[in-house]
A and B are shown apart, each in its own frame.
Chain A
Amino acid sequence: MLIKLTGGKVYDPAHQVDGKVTDIYIRDGRIVEGQHDGEKIDEEYDLRGKIVMAGAIDMHTHIGGGKVNIARMMLPEDHRGDLVAHTEHCRAGCGHAAPSTLTTGYRYAEMGYTAGFEPAMMPVNARQTHLEMGDTPIIDKGGYAMLGSDDFFLRMLTAKQDQNAINDYVAWTLHASQAIGIKVVNPGGINAFKFNQRALDLDELNTHYQVSPRDVLKALSRAVHELGVPHPLHVHGNNLGVPGNMETTLKTMGASEGFPMHLTHIQFHSYGTEGDRKFSSGAAAIAEALNKHKNISADVGQILFGQTVTASGDNMRQFANAGHGSPKKSVIMDIECDAGCGVVPFKYKDQNFVNALQWAIGLEIFLLMEDPWRIFLTTDHPNGAPFTSYPHLIRLLMDKSFRNDTFAKLNLDAQAMSTLSSIDREYSLYEIAIMTRAGAAKLVGLHDRGHLGVGAGADITVYTDQPDREAMFAKPDYVFKDGELVVRNGQVVKVTWGSTHTVRPEFDRGIEKDLKKYFDRYHTINMENFKVRDDEIAEGGRGKVIIQACEGRREKSE
């Protein structure tokens, strides 16, 4: 089966292709050089005048795991307020902020996304997370395993165990939970919450374990790097949402001591304390520091106005925010004594000073960050806004007058506190392709995705070039997933089931001796049952595990 995509204007930053008219050939789900001699073209798509990019990749989106289900259970109004009827190809579903799994997959594909990564997969919840993602059609997926507040790891730190042992534990966790990266949420803070601490700064000690978030970040970022895991440590820092937390964020950038680190939803961590209301934008300082620290990357976690729900493993901060919930309800809970979870519904309002400034801070970071390879387009779905608002966000980035018009309608006090209207930058299509495709694939470690080179998986999105970028990105003409046409004119025409991406770094299995003892004594399940097997993900042939290479493995520590 050979498919030819003829005459499209291609944006493929991984190969420095910036709008060059090129033909693309797809054979059996992969991009190939061209026809063999005498080979017949089975299908041809005339893409003259169209924009061609790789399928987009959302590197941080909460689409699976316990907290999403809690959000669904807690917000029946979110579901009955947004019903989707079944079509010829798709099953019925519902949900605006926390959509059902099927609807999540369809909506991503209909926006030209072909992969999404769940950033807060508790290892003990990994099975449920994978089952849920396995029910999310079309797109590829993967998860970052959450470490850093679990007792086994904190005991290792307290006992000052050497880095090799920590590396083995991190690698074991990646294997057991079938993850592609490691995430740390409020380093050590989720655990400290259980010892009645209600805030934890970077150098403050967990009263029980006597370790600081800095110790956690240092050990984990180094472990991830030494194991050769492509995705750097994924960090949700301390003090999320607290005015003045930009100082913590700036210090956090140095905490990994040069090892690569990804700071997620950095907008929520870029607040100053200037002005009458002691809440101001720290975007300029944060962006400057990001520009300087080449080992640090970030995704923005842009907020957009409207009803959504915040779902996070950071129960310390969610506990503090629960009073702001709208509608007024929340769930703050422990999960299996190994981590936490907080779900608080939230409505961002454009006439609210804080919300309007949060909106501006996110955009300031986007626009002041010089290197599009180290900044990523997210709303921290659903925390800042549902992922369906990405086309709107892209227009805000690409269209200065639209951005300024929107800004001019916001809370006046917030406008006075932001420099947004003085920033002239507009993102180009090439830069959008970096942020949402090439850069994201490189960051997550998807070697055969996010680009259109020979050998890549044929995840391809085709748009009509329209001046209204929101309309353009909301409704692609064609989306191909592994070479199959899944979306035409923004409508799903075929439902496929994507793969699950993982990494499997080498490690010393000797760690299982200690782990087995720990599991037998403290855990809710047996160690062997804790491990998620490939055939559970494969689910009768529907899903598939893809192991991405751990390239760049470093030598072990002394």
Chain B
Amino acid sequence: MSALTFTLKTALQQRVDLSALTPDQLAGKSKADIAAILLPYGRKQLRVDDAFDLHGEDTANIVFANSDAKLDYIGSKMKSGTITVNGDAGAYLGFQIDGGELTVHGDVDAYAASGMSGGLIHIHGNAGDFLAAAIPGDRKGMKGGTVIVTGNAGDRVGDQMRRGTLLIEGNAGSYCASRMLAGTIGVLGTVGAYVGYGMRRGTLLLTSKPVMHATLQDCGAHTLPYLSLMFKSFGELPSKFAKIDKNRVQRYAGDIANDGKGEILILQ
């Protein structure tokens, strides 16, 4: 069976909510049923077949081709299967995703992986602001699973993140790991100002020393054996992080204005 492919055929005037098009929700539906699904489109609604050409029938493997940055909520709440996005994706990519694999060949907008609790998101491109962060009103951002970004990420990466692994191969913007509660963030490039602002617990792994604000405290150089185990666990991942084999770091604790149990580790 070939993957169920949605090829965008119209120029979108408004944002579209694609949360209805996940493997779990489409399982067992006929092509005609899927074509008739109404998607929120600005203040109106849009039939799936008015926006997309449909090919293939395997609902467990979904492809969005010719994708556009106005397509929001791709893979929202998905629990299994795969979604591949060829092109850019909008905001809330993988919102509250609990399982399965979500791959994007393009850039994604804000709040990707927000509320994520399981599965794998692989973004071959850049991510917007609030990657793996909590949406307003929620108390926790990402809560599990793995996110890999090959490009750069925007501001507030991992804001209120609670668990899981977030690996950024490029740079991250300001307030990286702000208000982080737990979990692991790795950034191979640079990070912006106010890194670890209000960070409570959790680990932020960097390769070069950023500008640090006053409430991050230098704790000296350490050899941490657990890092070898952690990098070994990354071995299977399709990421540059899989090739790192170091366990000597400069350790900073913080944000000591907010408990100070977080740590920023800078690989030497």
Binding site for B on A (CB under 8 A): 74-77, 86, 92, 327-329
What are 12 sample pairs from A and B whose C-beta atoms fall under 8 A apart? A74-B137, A75-B137, A76-B135, A76-B136, A76-B137, A77-B137, A77-B138, A86-B43, A92-B43, A327-B139, A328-B139, A329-B139
| Cα of A77 to Cα of B135 in the assembled complex, Å | 9
Give B111 Cβ to nearest chain A Cβ, in Å: 13
| Cα of A75 to Cα of B137 in the assembled complex, Å | 6
Give B232 Cβ to nearest chain A Cβ, in Å: 36
Please indicate the chain B residues that have their CB under 8 angstroms from the CB of A92 in the complex. Answer: 43
Within 8 A of A (CB), among B34-50: 43
Q: How large is the interface on B (under 10, 10 to 19, 20 to 34, 35 or more residues)?
A: under 10
Give A84 Cβ to nearest chain B Cβ, in Å: 13
Please indicate the chain B residues that have their CB under 8 angstroms from the CB of A328 in the complex. Answer: 139
Please indicate the chain B residues that have their CB under 8 angstroms from the CB of A74 in the complex. Answer: 137
| Cα of A18 to Cα of B164 in the assembled complex, Å | 65
**Taking chain A's interface residues, is the majority helix, strand, or loop, or is none over half, making it mixed?**
loop
Q: Which of B43, B136, B137, B138 has the largest count of A CB atoms less than 10 A from its CB?
A: B137
Binding site for A on B (CB under 8 A): 43, 135-139
| Cα of A92 to Cα of B137 in the assembled complex, Å | 21
- Chain B: which residue is nearest A75 at the CB level? B137
Give A90 Cβ to nearest chain B Cβ, in Å: 13
5 closest cross-chain pairs (CB), A and B: A76-B137, A77-B137, A76-B136, A327-B139, A75-B137
| Cα of A395 to Cα of B136 in the assembled complex, Å | 38
| Cα of A328 to Cα of B137 in the assembled complex, Å | 11
Give A80 Cβ to nearest chain B Cβ, in Å: 8
Please indicate the chain A residues that have their CB under 8 angstroms from the CB of B139 in the complex. Answer: 327-329
- Chain B: which residue is nearest A83 at the CB level? B40
Please indicate the chain A residues that have their CB under 8 angstroms from the CB of B137 in the complex. Answer: 74-77
Give B117 Cβ to nearest chain A Cβ, in Å: 16
Please indicate the chain A residues that have their CB under 8 angstroms from the CB of B136 in the complex. Answer: 76
| Cα of A328 to Cα of B181 in the assembled complex, Å | 15
| Cα of A92 to Cα of B135 in the assembled complex, Å | 22
Q: Which of A74, A75, A77 has the largest count of B CB atoms less than 10 A from its CB?
A: A77
Give B89 Cβ to nearest chain A Cβ, in Å: 20
| Cα of A327 to Cα of B140 in the assembled complex, Å | 11
Give A76 Cβ to nearest chain B Cβ, in Å: 3
Please indicate the chain A residues that have their CB under 8 angstroms from the CB of B135 in the complex. Answer: 76
- Chain B: which residue is nearest A78 at the CB level? B137
- Chain A: which residue is nearest B44 at the CB level? A85
Please indicate the chain B residues that have their CB under 8 angstroms from the CB of A75 in the complex. Answer: 137
Please indicate the chain B residues that have their CB under 8 angstroms from the CB of A327 in the complex. Answer: 139
Give 9 A-B pairs besides A76-B135, A77-B137, A92-B43 with Cβ atoms closer than 8 angstroms: A74-B137, A75-B137, A76-B136, A76-B137, A77-B138, A86-B43, A327-B139, A328-B139, A329-B139
| Cα of A86 to Cα of B40 in the assembled complex, Å | 13
- Chain A: which residue is nearest B135 at the CB level? A76
Please indicate the chain A residues that have their CB under 8 angstroms from the CB of B43 in the complex. Answer: 86, 92
Give A100 Cβ to nearest chain B Cβ, in Å: 15
Please indicate the chain B residues that have their CB under 8 angstroms from the CB of A86 in the complex. Answer: 43
Please indicate the chain B residues that have their CB under 8 angstroms from the CB of A76 in the complex. Answer: 135-137
Give A394 Cβ to nearest chain B Cβ, in Å: 33
| Cα of A86 to Cα of B43 in the assembled complex, Å | 9
Q: Which of A74, A75, A327 has the largest count of B CB atoms less than 10 A from its CB?
A: A327
Give B92 Cβ to nearest chain A Cβ, in Å: 11
| Cα of A77 to Cα of B137 in the assembled complex, Å | 7
Please indicate the chain B residues that have their CB under 8 angstroms from the CB of A77 in the complex. Answer: 137-138
| Cα of A77 to Cα of B136 in the assembled complex, Å | 9
| Cα of A418 to Cα of B73 in the assembled complex, Å | 47
| Cα of A92 to Cα of B44 in the assembled complex, Å | 12
Give B138 Cβ to nearest chain A Cβ, in Å: 7
Give B115 Cβ to nearest chain A Cβ, in Å: 11
Give A313 Cβ to nearest chain B Cβ, in Å: 24
| Cα of A328 to Cα of B135 in the assembled complex, Å | 16
| Cα of A92 to Cα of B42 in the assembled complex, Å | 13
- Chain B: which residue is nearest A327 at the CB level? B139
| Cα of A175 to Cα of B41 in the assembled complex, Å | 48
| Cα of A136 to Cα of B77 in the assembled complex, Å | 34
| Cα of A18 to Cα of B89 in the assembled complex, Å | 63
| Cα of A116 to Cα of B138 in the assembled complex, Å | 31
| Cα of A108 to Cα of B149 in the assembled complex, Å | 49
| Cα of A76 to Cα of B137 in the assembled complex, Å | 5
